[in-house]
Every structure is written in C-alpha cells, then in structure tokens.
Structure 1
Amino acid sequence: MDETGEQNREGDPKGEVDSEADGLRKIVHVDMDAFFASVEQRDNPELRGKPVAVGGSSGRGVVAAASYEARQFGVRSAMPSITAKRLCPDLVFVKSRFDAYREASQQIREIFRFYTPLVEPLSLDEAYLDITEDLQGMGSATATAQAIRKRIREETDLTASAGVSYNKFLAKLASDQNKPDGICVIRPGEGEAFVQSLPVRRFHGIGPKAEEKCKRLGLETGADIAAKDRAWLRQHFGSFGDYLFRAARGVDLRPVRSNRLRKSVGGERTFSEDIHEADPLRETLERIVDIVWERIERAQAKGKTVTLKLKYNDFTLHTRAQSVSQLVEDKDTFARLGRELLEEEIPLPRPIRLMGLTLSNLERDGDEESRRRDGKTGQLALF
C-alpha cells in the first residue's frame, strides 16, 4: 500500500476490472470515511485531529459515529457513551446534525449520477454503483472510481474509500480493505482466493455470535467455509448456509438496484446475560430507541407501525406491534410507542436474551429521490 492508502497493484492495467466481454459487471462500492464525524470536523476546524463522537453524552447516550482519532481508543458506533468516555477521556461529543449530513450526501449522490444512473444507496454514506456502461469514457472501472473519489474530496472536502470488483459482495469487501481514503481492486479470477483468505468475521451477516458458532465448528477463514459442501452448511446454518456457500466462492449475482425499497428500519440487542427485571429492560429499550432513531433519520423514513421483539431464554420469539393513523415523525412518539409495548409485557413470564424495536409500514415524503430506499432492509444487530 502506498502513502495515499491505495494498493500499488490497482494501477496495473492487467489488474483492471474490465470484463464486459466475459459478461461480468463492473461494480464500485463507495464508503465515506467516518462520515458523520468527518462532516463535524470539516465544519468545525477546532475538532480536527481530535477524537470526536457524534451522539449524546448523557448516561443513556449512544455513539452514532466516531472519528478515526476516537477509533484508535476502541470507540465504535452503537457503543454506550459512558463506555466510550471511559475508553477515551478526551473524547469530544457533538450532537447529530442530520441536515448537514443529508446535504453532503446529496452532493455525493449527484457526483455518482454523473457516472451512472445505476446507484443503490445503502445509507447516507455508502452506495453501490454499476458502471459497466462507461458513460463518461473513463476507460476503466478503476479510473472511474478514482475520479469519483477525487471529485468527492474537491467538492465536499471529505474523503471516501472505494472497492472495485465484478460483483457487489466483493466490491463491498474491497472498499473496507484500505480504509481510510483508499481503494482496492479485486479483478476477475481473484475473488475466490481473496474471500478465502479472510477471517469469517469479515463476511457480511456474520456478527459476534455467528463468529463464535463458526469457530466452534472449526470455521476460521473463508477457506474453511469453502471446504464444506452445501448440505453441511445447510445442516448447521439453515438457509444462511446457502449464502455462505456462495460467498466463500466469491459468487454474488445480485444486480445494483437504484430503486430498492426498504420494508422496515430497526435494531436489536442480544444480552450477555438474560434480563428479567423491569428497570434494566426499560433502560435497554431507551438505548435501542436512540440507535434505531438515528437509523430512521439517516434513512429519512417515516412509518406507522412500531414492533417490539422479545426472544426468551428458551429461544421462543414473541412480537407485539402497534399501528397508528399518523406517521411517526419524531423520536418522542417512537419512544412512547415502544415503551407502551414493553409495559404491556411487564412482568415478563421468563427472562429474555434479546430485545428489538422496528418501525415499519414505511413511507417517504418529498421528491422521487426521497422515496427511494437506502437499500438496507430488515433488522440490524446493534451490539
């Protein structure tokens, strides 16, 4: 890797993803570097070079984003603010400014659309681009990705990392390879070996719990997964085994969808120890509300149904939903509906190991772009 954070091989024309003749796509995944925190540091020069966390600093506050200076101390998004402050005593907390983040995101998406109409946003700070059709005559996918990164820096004073490959799965893995402010190219013929060299934790969808299960089964790397047949993976992982079978071979046939609709926005927390008492349950709900509402604002989503999810210590799942006639447009309303659902369950019949909260029955207001979903569907494990 050179001093700009780019792999030296990406400049090699033989390493170019230029495989249209083989029927492969040219996909770029662009991921902004510490986006929320970077916007704050850009707009307030006094914050530059300092560890910054976006989010509430109160006892129940949660880190929504952390600068790279803060990450060096172990501060991460979704972390309780009190924990983050303990890890980094000099941490500077700033309140979220979603108007500023949306404005910067819109600038970035306009840059994307100069190069392709096939843009699938995943959130305000990342997106897939299908640039198989070279609209601007750049000559290569790598050149296009470099041009996009250069324009983002010049027009927004922010940095972005990019992954270039022949499918979405590989492009997303690549964008994380040389962060921050880097680029990585995985060319045809390299995907399988690249994936199999990775630890299983790098696979999308494998969180801490799934990682523990993989290790118990002797699966440490992508190569370990690839050594298992589909039947074995299905036996141990159910339908998720099909995904693992394909992913370990670098296979992903999903197209870039520029109008993919989200069905819900939510989050859930799995506890290290089962919870049964009312006060810890209420406190946990407040933290989940904080994080899920951040995601709702990021998605610019509004909905009419709030669903509480509880998984008991015997692994049985219970959900309770409440729908309202008007859109849930503010955090207070969302929190109130979540609290009402939880209070209806207290006292619990037995301890729970997981709690989740979701906003669904979504609508978007504004122009055509604002009605487009950000592409991340379903639940997100928060902790």
Structure 2
Amino acid sequence: MLHAVVAEWWFTAALSLLAVALPAALMWARRGSRLRPGTHVLVTGGSKGLGLALALQCAERGCSVTIVARNKADLATALQQLQETAVAAATTLRAAGGAAAPAAKLQALSADTTDMTKVTKAFEEAERNAGPIDVLICNAGLSLPGLFVEQDVSAFELQMRVNYLGNVHSVKAALPGMLQRRAGRVVLVTSSLAILGFAGYSSYAASKWALRGLADCLRNELQGTGVEVSVAYPPDTDTPGYAQENASKPELCLAVNSALGSDLFTPDKVARLLLRGIERGQYHLPSADLGQNLLVSGMTSLSPKRFPLLVQVLLGPILPLATSVFGWIADRAATKHNTAHGMPPRR
C-alpha cells in the first residue's frame, strides 16, 4: 500500500539523517539519572496500564512511589505489585554488592483528579508519608471516541475535565512546593492525538491538544525556577483503557485508523522510553513510534526541538512531504467510507 511505501522511505531517510548527526545527538542527550533511589515520584492514573508500568519501573530504580487513582480495589492490587517490585530490586542491589539505598516508601491513595479539594488532600498525605514530590507524572485520562455529529456535549465536557482540568489540578497541588524548593519535574502525559487528529477523536484530541498547550506555557513560565517540565506522547499502547476505547470506536474512525496504520506497543516499552527521557532531562519525551517522533519534531513551535538542531534542519524538507501524504491518506479513507455509507462527496 502507498502509506507503507512512504513509511518505509521516511524511515530509511530519517535513519540516514540521524546517522549523519549522531555526534550532535550524543552531545545533546544529557546524562545523569533524575530518578535516583529515594526520589519521590507521584503518578496519577497509576493503578493500571501505562501509569502502573511507570510506577513499577520507578520502584525498580529504588524510588519512593505514590500512585493516585479512583478505584480502591485496583489501587490495592497495584500497591502489592509495587511492594514486590521494590523488594526484588533491593535484593538484587544487595546481591550485586551495591550500597544501601534509602528505604523506598510506597503508597496508593484514592482521589478523583477532577476534584481539586480531593487532589490537594491526597498530595498533602503523599508528602507527609514519603516526603516532597520530586517528580509528578500526570497520567490520568480517558478516551471516548465518537463522531462529532453524534456525540453529546457531555462527552466533550467529561474528557476536558479529566484529561485537561484533572492535570491542571494535579500540577496546582504539587507546583507550589516545587517552586519553594526550587527543584522538581512535572510530566504531562498527552497522546499521539496531541499532534494529529482524525475522525472519531474530536472530543478527545481537543483535550490533549489543550494539555500540550499547557505544557508549552508552563515550560516557558518556569524557566530559571529549578522546576522543569516534560511532555509525553504515548502511541497506541496495549492497556485496559485502549481495549475499552476500541470497543466504542465508530466505523469511520476504524477505517481511517486502519488506512494510516498503527503498531500496538506494550506499556513496559512505552514507560521505559518515557523514563529514559525524564532521566535525560528532555522536554519532548521519546515515543516507541519513530514516525510519531518525527511528527513531534515538526510541531515543536517555540519549545525545544525534539531532536538536536542539526537533525531538525536536515529533516526540514522531509516532514512537509511526509505529513501531506499521510494527510491525503486519512482524507481519502474518510471520503471512501462516507461515500460507501450513503454520503457521496459534493460536486
């Protein structure tokens, strides 16, 4: 298929350009772990899926981890996994003759991020039990696919409350303490739908684009304060939320998604790359999907570039052509589907 040919050409060209700029890329990647043993990481939406994968990998590093979510049963199960992971990590460290690390403090707190009062209370409790929040990962969210003309306004309102305002509440609760200490990192987890949009996601993508806008503003606003910001764009990830999303996708959405093509990644792989980016102090965190990384590189605006500047310059001629081709594929798939379902294009 055409999109497969273009994707292969795009992939080959990008790898060639990256190889040319490898020295610059190595200099650009900042070293030094920011997730050391004892670091307090709080993950919202941390009871399952990508949030849980992030929490578990932080526990493997010896971090103190707080997960926040609504469902108490899910939280209890997740906390047990965190405790087992932390014990295994400590055992491995001792067996390797490593120095004793600070005892990790693990906790699971129930709170609805759409309620500012409950978020504030949960974060205060988290800090009383495990110390100041060093890294806040705002991962809580939901996706309700549907066609704009069919979806009730309530679907738009709910996703904006959860995906955007829920993250605003979380940052509001953690940021004052970080500013007082002049240290900390805020990570906003958006989606691939924060850099593109297609049929079936008008209510979801808008909330994620808003979150990306918030990240850009916060990054600039916090310059010189010691508090840093990162933004993540997870690709399609094999989580319970993704399975639920697929069950409600309209046919038009499925048709366009299929035409564009999409790989499904494991939560562990997605989490590993995100945490690697956090440890390197990156703003745009890396995705497991190469094409998505390239799309991000073409939409950085005033924020730091996704790749080293030399790579960005070399990619310049490629991105408009590639995105135009994929845009044409999406439009063609939507037109074909609508025509087949009784909505021929106007002439």
Q: TM-score, normalised by structure 2?
A: 0.23
Q: TM-score, normalised by structure 1?
A: 0.22
Which protein has the bigger strand share? 1
